[in-house]
Structure 1
C-alpha cells in the first residue's frame, strides 16, 4: 500500500472533492466506511445528509478552539497495489482506524482524539479526512506521521495478505527512483494523445544525451540533436548551479521547464559532472578506426557486461551495484539509439524499467562506472547496426549478456528485500528477452540445423568436451537444452579453426551466471562465438551456388584491364547421371 497526506484550509471544499465525480470522473459510489464515532452522516448513502452538515460536525472543535489554526484540514490517501484483491468496506474501515491511530489523529484509547471520516469511492483506495483540533481543544501532534503510518502499513500488508511495498517507502528508494508525473501532467498527456508525459519524455531524452558523453559539450550537443531546450542556472559568482530542461511546444504559455532533480536524482548538475570526471577509456570518436564497427563494439560491450555481472557476484556491495545499474542504463540507451527498429522499442523499455532499480545515497564504484560508460561510448560511435548477419549476431550476443545482468540485479535486490526493485529488473529482463529473440532466432535456427547434421563422432567429441569442462549437473542441463545442437555446431566450427573446445567452454562458463539463463547452451554459444570471432551463421551455399560463384570469380580474374565483365551463364540443368555424380 502507498499513502500520502496533505493539509488544507477548507473542509467543505475537501468534502466536495471526495463526494464529487473526481477530476476525471473516476469517483464511483462515494460513501463512508468509518468515522471517529461510527455515527457520522453520510451524504453518499443518506439522501437527507448534506456536505454542509458533515462539514459543521467535523469542524466543531475547530470553531470552539476560538483561535486561528493554520491549515486545519488533514487529508490522507491510502491506496492498495493494483495487483491486490479488492478490499471490503469493513476491511477498509479497520485499516482507516489503524491509520488514524498511527498518525496521531485519534490514538487508540484516547477519548479526546480528532474528528475524522474515511471515504471509499472505488479503485481500491480510501481518503481519510480529519480536522486537527482535538476534543480537549489542543492541536494533534502529527510530527513524524508519515513514518508511523508507513510502519503500520507494512504490518497491514502482512496481515491482509497484500503486496509488500515496504521497500518503496524507504527514503533511499524514494530518492533513487525517477520522479513521478503529477495529475495535471498525466491529464495533459492524455489530452494530447501522448503515451508519455513531458517529464518522462525529457528524462529519457536527457539520459540518451548523457549516455556515452565524455564532456559537458557532448552532452549539450546531444540535447540539441533531440530538440531538447536547456538552460544552465548560474550563481551570482558565475558558477553553474544546475540544469533545467524543456520540450519544444506550441502552447501559448511557452515550454514547461524541469530541473534535473525533478527528473531523477542522478540527473542533477553535480551528478552529471561526476560522470564526466570519471571519464571513459575509449579513444576519441574522431579516430577513423572507431567508425563503422557496430559488430565489434557490441562484442566488446557484451564482454564488459559479463564482467559487470560477475562483479556483483564477487563483490555485492551497494556501491558496486549502484555503478553497474547506472552504467547498464547508459549501455541500454546507446544500444537503443544504434539498434534497428525491430528491437529498439523493447531495449528502450528495458532501460526505463531498469531506472527503478537504481541505488541512492551511496558512492558508486568508479572503475565499474568507467567500464560501462566506455562500453556505452563505443556503441554510440560504432555506428548503427543492421538486424542480420554479423551485426545481428553481435546484437544477439550483447542482448543475451544484458538479460543475465538484469537477472543478477534482480537477485541482488531480492536478497536485500527490495521487492519492487527486483520486479523492475525482471521487467527489464523480459523486454530484453523479446529484443534478443528478434535477433537470435534465425542464426540459432541455422546453427541448430548444422548441429543436427554433424557426423556422430564429431557430436560425441563435443559432448565429451562439455562433460569434462562443466560440472555434472551443469553438463546435464546443457546437453538436455534445446540449444545443444547449436552449441555443438559452434564448438565444431571453432575446433576446425584451431581452437580447443574444452578451453573455450571453461572460459565461457568462467564468466558465470548460467543457472538463471533460459537457455544455458545459447548463452555459451554466443560467448564462444564472440570470444573466437566466428563469423555469423549463414545458410550454406548449394553446389550450383558455388559453381556460379567460382565462374564469376574466374571471369573477373581473367578479364583484361578495362574490359567489361559479364556474369557467366548459369550451368545447364544436370541430367540424372550427372546429378548422382554431383551428390
Structure 2
C-alpha cells in the first residue's frame, strides 16, 4: 500500500473537480466519498443535489475564517493506492484506512472534534484520495511533522492487519520517483522514459570513472545534455542543473533538474566527495590493441575489471561497513559497461545498472575505504570504447559479467544483514539482469570452446574433463561451465 502526499496553495475546488472528473483518460468511475471529517460532507457523486463547489466550500471554510492569517500552504492531498496483486477492498475498509491515515499524520487525530476538515474520495477500485485543508476548525494551524514518514509507517501496519502485500520500508535514500504529470507528459511526447529518469541515467554514466569535476561536466555536454552551473558570488561552483534538449514547460523554457533532485548521491557535493575519495587513474590506451597481442582494448579492460570486481566480492563477504564504498564503485563499473557493451547485452545491462543504483545508497558511510581500483576500472572501460561482442571482446564481457553476478549476490547478503530491505531487493533484481546478460554474452564463446574441445584428441579431452570436474566438484558438464575458468558456474549461483 503506497501513500503519496502532496501539498498546495489556494482553495480545494480544483482538486475536488479533478477527483470527481473523468480523469486524464476517462479512468475515473463511480466517484464518491467513502469517509469525511463529519461523515456528512456533500457527495456530488452519490447525491444529485450536491455539487463540487459545495464540497470545496465546506472544506475551505476554516481557511477562509482565518482570512489573512491563513498559511501559504493550505491544501493537503494524500493518495493511498493498493498493490495490483492485493485483494479488492470495499468502501468500509477504505473508509477505515482513510481515518487511520489522517489520524497518524495529524490531520485529524481520533477524538479531536476541531481538527482539520477532510474527505476521502474513491473513483477506482484500487485507491482513494484524501483531500484536506491545513487550518483546523478551531483556527489553529495543523500540527504536521514528518507526515510522509508517518503515513508510510501506518501503511506498513495496515498491510499486515489487512493481509495485503507488505512493501519494503524506505530509509530516505531512494531517488525521487517521477510524478504522474511527468509520466503523462512522457507518454504524450512519445518518450519511453520520463526526462527525470533519462537524466538520472545519463548523469550516472557521466560520473562513472570520471577523474575530475571538469571531466564530469564535459561528459554531460558530450552526452547531449543541457547543463548549467550555479555559482556563488565568489565565483565558486555550488551546483549544477541539467535538462534534456526539447523538454520545455508551458512557457517554452527548458525544464531543469538539479542533480540532487535526480538522486541524493548526484548532488555536486556528493559527486565531489566520490571524486576525492576514489580518484580514477588515467587508463587511456595508445590505440585499439594491446601491444604485441591480438587482444583489443575493450577486452583487456574488461578482464582487468573482472579481477578488480572479484576483490570487491571478498570485501563484501567480510561483512564490514567499509564495503558500502565498494557498492558505489561497483555501480560505476556497471554504468560503464552499460554504455559500452555490445547491443545484445546492452538492454539487460542498463536494467541491471538501474536496479543496482538503489543498492549503492544507504545511511552507512565508508569514510576511509579505497575504491580507486573500481573507479579506474570503470574509467578504463569507458575510454577503451565499445566492445564488439565477438572474439576476445565477447569472452571478456562474459567474464566480467559473471563476476558482477557475484558482486550483486554479495551486495544482497550485505544489505540483508543490515535490514536494508529495498537495497537487498534491488541487488537481487540486478543479479537477475546480469545473469541474463551473461547468458547472452557467453553463448558464442561457449559454443566455440565446445567446438574446439570436441576437436581435441580423445585422451587429451578426457584429461581436461577430469580436471574440470575435480575443480568444479560433482558431475558438472564441462562444455557448459568451464569455458571461462569456472565463471559460468558462478553466474548460475542462486541469489539469497
- Normalising by structure 1, report the TM-score: 0.74
2:226 aligned residue:
229
**Residues 387 and 439, structure 1, Cα contact 8 Å, conserved in 2:** yes
Q: Indicate yes or no: 2:252 matched with 1:253.
A: yes
1:207-356 to structure 2, matched below 5 A, reads 207-249=204-246, 253-280=252-279, 282-285=281-284, 287=286, 292-317=296-321, 319-321=322-324, 323-356=325-358
1:415-467 Cα shifts (integer Å, max 9, x gaps)? 33333333322222222222212221233244456667874896478547755
**Alpha-carbon shift at residue 19 of structure 1 (Å):** 1.0
For residues 504-559 of structure 1, the C-alpha deviation after alignment (integer angstroms, 9 at most, x for no partner) is x8xx89xxx9597159xxxxxxxxxxxxxxxxxxxxxxxxxxxxxxxxxxxxxxxx
When residues 354 and 45 of structure 1 are mapped into structure 2, their CA distance, relative to the original with a 3 A threshold, is same
Task: Quote the offset at 1:366 in angstroms.
Answer: 5.3
Query: Conserved in 2, the CA contact under 8 Å of 1:96 and 1:118?
Result: yes
Residue 29 of structure 1 and its aligned partner are, at CA, apart by 2.2
Contact 1:320 1:364 in 2 (8 A): yes
Tell me by how many angstroms 1:280 deviates. 4.3
- On the 8 A contact 2:280/2:376 being kept in 1, the answer is yes
- The CA RMSD over aligned residues, in Å, is 3.3
Between 1 and 2, higher relative CO (CA 8 Å, sep ≥ 6) is seen in: 2
Structure with more of its chain in helix, by fraction: 1
The answer to whether the Cα contact below 8 Å between 1:454 and 1:489 also exists between their aligned partners in 2 is no
Alignment CA distance shift 1:23-1:367 (3 Å): same
Aligned to 1:47: 48
Equivalent in the alignment of 2:2: 2
SS across alignment from 1:186: helix
Unaligned stretches of 5+ in structure 1?
492-504, 520-583
Distance, in Å, in 1 between the alignment partners of 2:346 and 2:339 is: 7
Match runs of 1:23-102 below 5 Å: 23-59=24-60, 68-70=69-71, 71-102=73-104
- Is the 8 Å Cα contact of residues 449 and 483 (structure 2) preserved in structure 1? yes
1:192 aligns with 2:189: yes
After superposition, the C-alpha distances for 1:362-399 in whole angstroms (9 at most, x for unaligned) are 43355442121111012122342221222111111111
Q: Which moved more, 1:257-266 or 1:294-303?
A: 257-266
1:16 aligns with 2:20: no
Hey, what does 2:397 align to over in structure 1?
395
Alignment check: 8 A CA contact 1:451 1:486 kept: no
Cα deviation, residue 35, structure 1? 2.2
Deviations 1:9-64 (A, max 9, x none): 31333321211123444422221122234343321122232223333444455566
Structure 2: gaps (5+ residues): none
Residue of structure 1 in register with 2:438 after alignment: 436
User: Using a 3 Å threshold, how does the CA distance of structure 1 residues 337 and 366 change in structure 2: closer, same or farther?
Assistant: farther
Change (3 A) 1:60 1:466: same
Quick check: 1:517 aligned with 2:493?
Answer: yes
Per-residue Cα deviation, 1:183-239 (whole angstroms, up to 9, x for no partner)? 333232212101112222222222222212212332233223222222222111111
Which string of whole-angstrom CA distances, capped at 9 and with x for unpartnered residues, describes residues 310-368 of structure 1? 21111342x422x2222222212221222221112221221112112232444335544
Q: Distance in 1 between matches of 2:272 and 2:66?
A: 53
Which is higher, the Rg of structure 1 or of structure 2?
A: 1
Instruction: Work out whether residues 394 and 444 of structure 2, in 8 Å CA contact, stay in contact via their aligned partners in 1.
Output: no
Distance apart, 1:123 and its partner CA: 6.0
CA pair 290-223 structure 1, distance change in 2 beyond 3 A: farther
Q: 2:147 aligns with which of 136, 145, 148?
A: 145
User: In the superposition, relative to structure 1, how do residues 158 and 303 fare at CA in structure 2: closer, same or farther (>3 Å)?
Assistant: same
Alignment of 1:371-410 (within 5 A): 371-410=373-412
Query: Deviation per CA, 1:217-273, whole angstroms, max 9, x where unpaired?
Result: 322332232222222221111111111222223858242222211222222222222
More off after superposition, 253-262 vs 389-398: 253-262
Between the aligned partners of 2:484 and 2:55, the Cα distance in structure 1 is: 77
For residues 464 and 341 of structure 1, the distance between their equivalents in structure 2, rounded to whole angstroms, comes to 35
2:8/2:76 contact within 8 Å kept: yes
What do the CA deviations read for 1:125-184 (whole angstroms, capped 9, x no partner)? 21112344555555443334333333222211211233333522x33x3xxx33322333
Contact 2:388/2:394 (CA < 8 Å) preserved in 1?
A: yes
TM-score (norm 2): 0.86
Tell me, what secondary structure is at the counterpart of 1:121? Answer: strand
Aligned to 2:198: 201
Match of 2:105? 103
CA distance in 1 between counterparts of 2:15 and 2:94 reads 20
Partner of 1:233: helix, strand, or coil?
strand
Q: Against the structure 1 CA distance between its residues 138 and 328, is the aligned structure 2 distance closer, same or farther, given a 3 Å change threshold?
A: same
- Residue pair 2:89, 2:125 contacting (<8 A) in 1 also: no
Q: Secondary structure at the match of 1:236?
A: coil
Aligned pair partner of 1:417 in 403, 416, 419: 419
